[in-house]
Amino acid sequence: MKEFVCIVCPRGCKLRVDSDLYETAVSGNACARGREYAIAEYTNPTRSVTVNIRVRGGTRRVVSAKTERPVSLAKVLPLARLAGKLTVDAPVKAGDVISNSLLGEKIVATSSVAKAENL
Ligand code: SF4
């Protein structure tokens, strides 16, 4: 048995998942989306990883970025640690790919940093 708070909508239903070899039962959900959320959280929880990447020669020292898609929980910390070691050259535009394969995941800028003029 495992319990979750559904984050799909602001109602925040308290979900409970009971599972055995033959079936997975969800209770506490007020709608079908809650059931889908609970089963995904129970079987393969994923998260988007957001990080700040160092910028060389920019008007700001860091640019915000995130994984292109949600990743499994086991990858979150290793990805965040590795992303913290990346440096990108300015200019950076929102949507630019900063890394094509960091632990197999694409890291994409979510903001822009212009090139500094007086460096
Ligand atoms: S179960 Fe449905 S109604 Fe309840 S929080 Fe989740 S999405 Fe909202």
pTM of the full predicted structure? 0.78
pLDDT confidence of residue 15: 98
Give the domains, in start order, of the chain with CATH numbers.
Answer: 2-43 (no CATH), 50-109 (3.10.530.10)
CB of 31 sitting under 6 A from ligand 1: yes
Q: Cα dist. 68→16, 21, 37, 97 in Å? A: 30, 34, 20, 9
For ligand 1, the distance from its centroid to the CA atom of residue 70, given in whole angstroms, is 20
14 lines ligand 1 (CB under 6 A): no
Q: Return d(Cα 68, Cα 103) in angstroms, integer.
A: 13
Of 43, 99, 97, 103, the C-alpha closest to 77 is 103
34, 46, 71 from 9: Cα distances, Å: 9, 17, 21
CA 69 to ligand 1 centroid distance, Å: 23
Q: Is the dihedral of CA 8, 12, 13, 15 positive or negative?
A: positive
Regarding the beta carbon of 38 and ligand 1, being less than 6 Å apart is answered no
CA of 29 to the centre of ligand 1 (A): 6
* pLDDT at res. 117: 85
Please give the number of the atom of ligand 1 that sits closest to the Cα of 15. Answer: 1
At residue 119, the pLDDT reads 57
At residue 36, the pLDDT reads 95
Find the 9 Cα to ligand 1 centroid distance in Å: 5
pLDDT in tens, the chain (119 residues): 999 999 999 999 999 999 988 999 999 999 999 999 999 999 999 999 999 999 999 999 999 999 999 999 999 999 999 999 999 999 999 999 999 999 999 999 999 999 998 65
